[in-house]
Amino acid sequence: MNVQQMHLAIQQGVDKINSLQADTLLSQEIDIELNKSQIKFINTRYGKNNVYRKGFEESQKRIDDLRSLIKEYEGSTTFKGQLNNDIWVDTFSLPSDYMYLVSQQSKVVTRKNCKSINSHTESINTEALKPYFTIGLSEFVCNDSTEIADSIVLFEDINSNTAGQVTVWSNTNFQFPQDIGQLITDIVVNPPAGVEIYWEEFNTLNFPGQFIILINTDVISWFEWDLSIGTVSTLAALNSTSAVLKTVTGNNSIMDYNEKRISSHSPSGTATNIVGNTYVQHDDIFTLLKDPFNTTKHTDPLTTIRGNNIDVYTNDIFIIDAVKITYIRNPKKISLSLGIDCELPEHAHQAIVDMTVSSILEGISDPRYKSHEAEVSKNE
């Protein structure tokens, strides 16, 4: 089904049980309930909170239900710190659209003679300082919440027509407030070259309700945040006639972990292998690291997940060069006004429609909700 067909099916489903309520449903209300049901569908298929008590990849149907959201991502690790003389910690940043982890592997470097590996740390980025902006949703909603900006633009000098500029985001018919969820997703997943955008968290940064916009000065070489050096670069919200509605000046510079643990041996004396990682809960990791039989190994590195990062624990036998994950990404929000269809496989659409009908019936306290919910569970 496309989004129009899903809306029609929901209205028909509610109409069969409560015709008066079906006549008063707004498209924005249906979108909200559809997106709640979409997330509920993913959660029940990934975990075991379903009538069959089966999680993801425990049956072919569960795999098929979520196959359109499965992605792979590989990235380099950076050095975080040393716990003691025998244990080091590297960290790997999760992608911005990450929802659930399916599997994880590490690219492990060891000495060919299986002896202890000598290592040192090196800077992996000469531009260790990454400028960033923090911007709340209020910066995109202008004129006392009556207008959503047509675009957000980064200016080298907002007072100069010839200075550098980069469009960070362009509005594609988003409405306020009904499309706020989709607005967040659209801003995060579609950054221009030289810009990274995160919602609320990035490594050690945490800004509830705000975007974190990082600038790569290797790509946007004219960017400047330090007023003592020159004109400060500015983010501006513009309307459809390019009139400035709001501005946010460059305010910070951070760095993220900028060192990497490197082998001190010649490449000919080392070997690189891909091995599976083992996820460990935070309250178990230190106990396991002290256990010689269950500690982290070059054949089975131990990891924990913290915020938007996977931490990988190593010892003096091996180094982690990179981590590769398979994961379930966040789905795009379904929206009738924006013409955004459900991304899940077509066979899942009816189940999401049925769950949405049940949610609407529950919301209006219809006494027939429980019987409808029972039918939905049978069809799972």
Residue-wise pLDDT for 39-70, tens only, equals: 999 998 887 654 444 555 555 777 888 999 99
Instruction: Please determine, for residue 99, whether its predicted confidence score (pLDDT) is greater than 70.
Output: yes
Judge whether 259 and 86 are in contact, CB under 8 Å. Answer: no
Judge whether 3 and 340 are in contact, CB under 8 Å. Answer: yes
DSSP-derived 3-state class of residue 343: coil
* All structural domains of the chain with their residue ranges: 3-68+333-378, 130-254
* 102 pLDDT tier (thresholds 50, 70, 90): very high
Residue 212 burial (10 A CB sphere; 0-12, 13-18, 19+): buried
Q: CA 305, CA 56: separation in Å to the nearest integer?
A: 19
Prediction pTM value: 0.69
Alpha carbon of 180 to those of 31, 152, 175, 284, 367: distances in Å?
Answer: 12, 16, 8, 39, 32
Give the model's pLDDT for residue 73.
Answer: 92
Give the model's pLDDT for residue 62.
Answer: 72
Give the model's pLDDT for residue 126.
Answer: 38
**If you average pLDDT over residues 257-276, what whole number do you get?**
88
Judge whether 21 and 366 are in contact, CB under 8 Å. Answer: yes
Q: CA 150, CA 168: separation in Å to the nearest integer?
A: 11
Judge whether 326 and 274 are in contact, CB under 8 Å. Answer: no
Judge whether 101 and 112 are in contact, CB under 8 Å. Answer: no
Residue-wise pLDDT for 282-305, tens only, equals: 999 999 999 999 999 999 999 999
Judge whether 317 and 310 are in contact, CB under 8 Å. Answer: no
The DSSP bridge partners found for residue 336 are none
